[in-house]
Chains A and B, each alone.
Chain A
Amino acid sequence: MGINIIITGVGGQGNVLAAKLLATAGLEAGWEVTVGDVFGLTQRGGSVASHVRLFKGYLLPPLIPCRSLDILVAFEPLEALRILTQFGRETTRAIINDQPVWPIGVQAGRFQYPEAQELHSAIENLTSKTAFINATRVAKELGNIQVLNMVMLGALYGSGWIPLSPRTFESIIQSSTSSQLRGLNIKAFRRGLKLKGSNLHI
């Protein structure tokens, strides 16, 4: 038994830290955990995805097999679609920050970013439940775009899709994020939690 989660986004959006904290929370809650990450070149504006697996029983590899995704947390909608086309299955649920970040090729006019309508329906076709939220706005309102990842994790906790307690997560933020951002991270996480009531239609 287990839960397969992918946190995806664009290099620099903070998925690595998000995955690390989420896995730590899983470990503290008594799960066996593994995180699959790759960094380096992809951090220069490329697609990034962290695989987080919470499980019990035999050891699992850090990579989630195709068609085995339970929960997708996407910091960017095109990246959400990219992951779903490979790892999605009928039961996959997703929380998506609906704020496109244009690939450099789109910016340079070599490619076309999909129309919002098209993108949304493609995503919905590949998920059982999808919540589109605007976490970027929340992070900006808080004054630092860097806390986007905490808003997203807040929304994940708020969804009730994972068997982990928000209270414990706050203590993990306390103990494992940089002192300058700690307070803001917790604020961001709480704002994310509350997104449930407003525009998280689950």
Chain B
Amino acid sequence: MLIGNKGKFFAMIFGVALTSLIITQQSSIFVGLMSRTVGFIFDTPLPDLWVMDPKVQFVDDIKPMQDTKLLQVRGVQGVEWAVPLYKGSIRARLANGTFQTCNVIGLDDATLVGGPPTMVSGRVADLRLADSVIVDEAAAQGKLAKPGPTPQSPKTPLKIGDLLELNDNRAVVVGIARTTRTFQSQPIVYTTYSRATRFAPRERKLLSFILAKVKPGEDFTEVARRINGQTGLAAYTAPQLKGLTIRYFMKNTGIPINFGIAVGLGFLVGVAIVGQTFYSFITDNMRYLGILKAMGAKNNVLFTMIILQTFLVGALGSGIGMGIASLTSIISKNSELAFYMPWQIPVVTVLATTLITLLTTIFSLWKVIRLEPGIVFRG
């Protein structure tokens, strides 16, 4: 038995929908951006432990180690194998003479552990060919694509067999890989460890990470502790390194604050719209609620009516809002937009809209408890 005013009913649904849209959308973009910071870790699933200089604060914060550290790590009890990984920025010179900084990943020459997750064309094993590199798909079509004769003319995507110049060294493209987008969106170039260190500017230390596999039956944290004790290096599991990286970005960039403000605003807008429409809705209907009460409707009957109505609004509104957000997610799947919606986000959105609904419901119930049926005889 809904006492209805269609306009207000839709205004309330709209308010909840807008709120849940903003909350879902903003937190998904936030999570999307944050997961980009750890995209590289996602793409390197094989090792159990990532070993690095203890002062490293996040995955792109490279503090090179001496090559001898690799042997030390291999000697730690419980380590099945350990391979070197180079990760660093190297300038590529494009055919038209402009430069583009690339994120070069150097994989262990023998095993190629840490290679690209999905190949679009070519094979990872072709990295064993002379001067070979694999570039990521987005860069091949974008930042590393060959420019046309004029700035306006379309670029030609990089393909197998094309040449690149990395820090004055010749490189041949032998494959195109699909990688998880990273935060800096720099082109990713895979090659072998020895070649990467040859491309890289001369430095005393070049070993960025040591990727280690733990022997079956050994405890990860125990082995990590041993590595730290014997080599002075830090060893993290992939989730730990992701956590470290995300915490670093949270603490040191304005990203969380900006998104926090957007999400908070969304919530306030929702509370304001829904609260305000619901308030006037209840006030308008006070007379009818009073009549029902005079005719014998107990408080719990009136409560049920109000709760049914608010929760219908809450459910419809958050459904519509999250629906639009998911639609954006589908549409933006192949775009630059960072949008990632893990299951926690809808849950949080539902909690937020439930909270709004609850607040307005409690407010309405409070009005109903104080309702004097005597108002029914007043003009």
Q: Do A and B come from one complex?
A: no
Task: List A residues at the B interface (Cβ < 8 Å).
Answer: none
Task: List B residues at the A interface (Cβ < 8 Å).
Answer: none
